[in-house]
Amino acid sequence: MGNILEKLQIIGDNVILQCRDPMDESTCVQMWDWKCREGYEFLLSFDDGADYSFIAEDRLLFITEGTMIIYSITNKLKPPQCTARLSLPSLMDGWVYKELSTSINPSPGFVLPDFQESSHQPSCLFHPSADDQLVLIRIFVLSNYQSSTFVFCARRSAILQIESLFAKIYGKATLSDSRSPWSLPWAVWGPQNTSCLQGELLRWPQSLYGFRTVGSADEDLGHCSPRRLCIRDFNPHVACNYGAEDAAERHGRLVRGELTTTIHYPFTEPLGSALPYREIVSEELFDVTETMMDESRILLLDSLRDAELQTVDVLVF
């Protein structure tokens, strides 16, 4: 039986594929430069549960076994270089990181849509910055009798800046360090650079665009129940100017970022809550299986159990 294709990303000249071996559940990642005459190519292998995302055109973020690894592909005369290893928060005895994934939406460009001839004027044009966006890190932790899902939000710029902190503490990393025991502890980098969304349902995974996420607001309902949409805007400019004169015209509430000493089960150290964001919860209920988002629209997809698409609705905001 051949490998199963799980993910494909293209950014700039780079094409990268992620495949899973159905026999041992291991993950392999292959990348090549389709413009390079020398045929630049590499292959990396990881154990069960690994995932990756580009966080820059020359940086790859891998997440595996409770650790985030940053690879540099700046010099294509050499294999990818491990530049930093970052630990996720430690778990209580009996708990393990089972499934991990990361996602980021590369900016599609800055061509403003023409709304002059449209009957709908969006409440706020939103275009992600080419220099900074949000990165989502989804984790699924498991014990013998329980399981929990968490989503960590971090700014791409913060993750890239942590490279220099890792080098300052441990020295310059190389490819051989990708599986070394040296890793920047969560307490050093995590709480002040992330915010954790707890209890996010697997049936409604967070959709990401720029600094905005959309997901379910009703975490205590059954898996088949309609839910309210929850839009969170982590744009630092929006959060910093929330108290401006036009704040009365804005919807939702501001969640202010702050460090906390609270330890949430099943972790053994505080999670992140440092990023401020504006949160809007819909009044209407929606019965969908997946959401997608761009600068002013939310796509609501409802699929059957066999993945057959049943309905598609579009919300404009």
- 3-state SS class at 294: coil
Confidence band of 247 (pLDDT split at 50, 70, 90): low
**Angle, alpha carbons 105-108-109 (nearest 5°):** 135
pLDDT at 229 over 70: yes
The mean pLDDT value of the chain amounts to 78
For the question of whether the overall pTM of this predicted structure is more than 0.85, the answer is: no
pLDDT at 201 over 70: no
Q: What is the reported pLDDT for 200?
A: 53
Largest interatomic CA distance in the chain: 62
pLDDT at 257 over 80: yes
Mean pLDDT of 78-102: 89
Q: What is the reported pLDDT for 152?
A: 92
CA dihedral 30, 189, 216, 97 (to 10 degrees): 60
Mean pLDDT of 73-80: 78
Confidence band of 48 (pLDDT split at 50, 70, 90): low
Higher pLDDT, 179 or 141: 141
Of 63, 5, 74, the C-alpha closest to 40 is 74
